[in-house]
Amino acid sequence: MVRTWRCAALAAVVVLVAGSVLAQEVVLKDPAGDDFGPGAYTYPTDAVYKAGSFDLRQLKVVSKGDNVTFEVTLGTDLDDPWRMGGGFSVQMAFIFIQTDPAAEGLTKTYPGLNVQFAPESKWQKCIILSPQPPARVKNEVETKAADLLAATVIPTRTRGSGRVLSATVAKADIGGGDLTKWGYQVLMQSNEGFPDKADLLTRKVNEYEGQHRFGGGNDLDCDPHVVDLFAGAATGDKSEAEEQKKMLAYECNPDGTSKSLATIKTVGVAAK
């Protein structure tokens, strides 16, 4: 009996030690106050869009056992004015991951973001943090971005608490590997329950802000519909705001089509 207890205690210690040894963590930071997209984006005017709601501050990725937890920290406390049930309503975050720069990957992104990734930053997986039910997000991907479905990971549950959006997914769904060597990018958007027919639950950016539309962009879809993202070394240095402006720079043709699409790079250890 004593031996049994000893074995059990030893096993518990091994599990704890192994767990702590195997746990991996990545923390990326973004400066405060750069939630202006390419430089001039403004929030919608409705009171639900509080200052800092889309101001990306940090991404924390923690591997524990077979799961990986993603925590996106924003610039203000989360609210659930539309009673979505997960503790937040207005935010939506796309976490792009480059698990292997040498592997096949994607440069295109979801409709409604209006950005592309640079070839050297091609991504393999994207985790979508949305307050919508997972089945609705999945249906949107199936109908509007079917070619990205295999690369999309939709968490069973996305929570908002304090200033943090978080979700846990199976590491196998991302493809495994060493997450400290992955490249990352987080594109901050706003959850739109009534999106444009082609957009994947994203909120429009127009030339002038409206009650539920961002301002400072273009009325058509040649501008990046991204309010904040990581740039530079993702250390949170103020200079990264300028890097962000450069990365989200775009040009429109006179007819409103894109002349030069904003091109995104991943950040992190594996980033190029």
Partner 1 sequence: MRHNRWVIAAMILAALAFAEGMAFAEFTLDLGGRTYTKWLWGNARREGSSYMYSDIPNDGAGDNGQFTEIELFVNAKVSKYVEIQSRLHSRFNQNYWTNYSGFGGRPEGEDPCIAGDCGEYSPLSNQYLKLRGMTVFIRPGYGWLDQVVLGSNDMGGWDPWIVGQARYIDRDNPAGIIASGSLFGKALTWRGQRLSLPRLWAGPGFNTGSFHSADGAYTMLLSYSPSSKVDLVGLYNYVNDIEIDPLDVNPDNGIDTKTRYREGVYGLRVAIRPTDNIEVRGNYYHSSSSTDSTLGAGHTGFSPVIYGDLSDSAWKLAADFNDPFEVGLSFKAEYFDIGADYVAVLAGRREVDVLLTEGWDATFAMPGPANLRYAVYRDAQHLQGEGLAQNIGWGGWDGTTQQVVSLGVDNNITDFNEPLAQDVHGWKGFTFVPQYQAGDLTLQAELSWIDYNTNWQTAWGGGGGSKYPTFEWFTGVNTTRPVYQPYQDRETSIYALNAKYIAPLGKGLEITAKIKQIDETDKRLNNPALVPNIVPTTVGPAQGYEATGYAWAPFDDVSDDDRDLDYMTYQIGLGYQFRDELWAGLRYEHYDVELKDGSTAIYGAWPGNWYGYGDQANPSGDYNKNKVSVLARYTLGGAEIGFQYQYNFGDFKPDFGDGFVAKVVNGKRYFQSVDYRNPQPMFTRDFNQQRIVSYLKVAF
Instruction: Please report, as ranges, the residues that interact with partner 1 according to CB under 8 A.
Output: 32-34, 40, 42, 44-47, 51-52, 55, 57, 75-77, 81, 83, 85, 133-136, 138-139, 143, 154, 156-157, 159, 161-164, 168, 194, 196-197, 207-208, 210-211, 215-216, 219-220, 254-256
Residue 77 Cβ vs partner 1, minimum distance, rounded to whole Å: 6
Q: Which is nearer to partner 1, 177 or 252 (CB)?
A: 252
* Residue 42 contacts residue 209 (beta carbons within 8 Å): yes
Please state whether beta strands 24-29 and 58-64 pair in parallel, antiparallel, or not at all (unpaired).
Answer: antiparallel
Beta-bridge partners for 213: 210
Residue 185 Cβ vs partner 1, minimum distance, rounded to whole Å: 21
Residue 81 Cβ vs partner 1, minimum distance, rounded to whole Å: 8
Residue 183 Cβ vs partner 1, minimum distance, rounded to whole Å: 25
* Residue 249 contacts residue 118 (beta carbons within 8 Å): no
Residue 11 Cβ vs partner 1, minimum distance, rounded to whole Å: 18
Q: Which is nearer to partner 1, 117 or 214 (CB)?
A: 214
Residue 45 Cβ vs partner 1, minimum distance, rounded to whole Å: 4
Q: Which is nearer to partner 1, 229 or 270 (CB)?
A: 229
Q: Which is nearer to partner 1, 157 or 272 (CB)?
A: 157
Q: Which is nearer to partner 1, 43 or 117 (CB)?
A: 43
Q: Which is nearer to partner 1, 120 or 196 (CB)?
A: 196
Structure tokens at 234: 């993702």
Residue 106 Cβ vs partner 1, minimum distance, rounded to whole Å: 22
Residues 109 and 39: their CA atoms lie apart, in Å, by: 21
Q: Which is nearer to partner 1, 122 or 225 (CB)?
A: 225
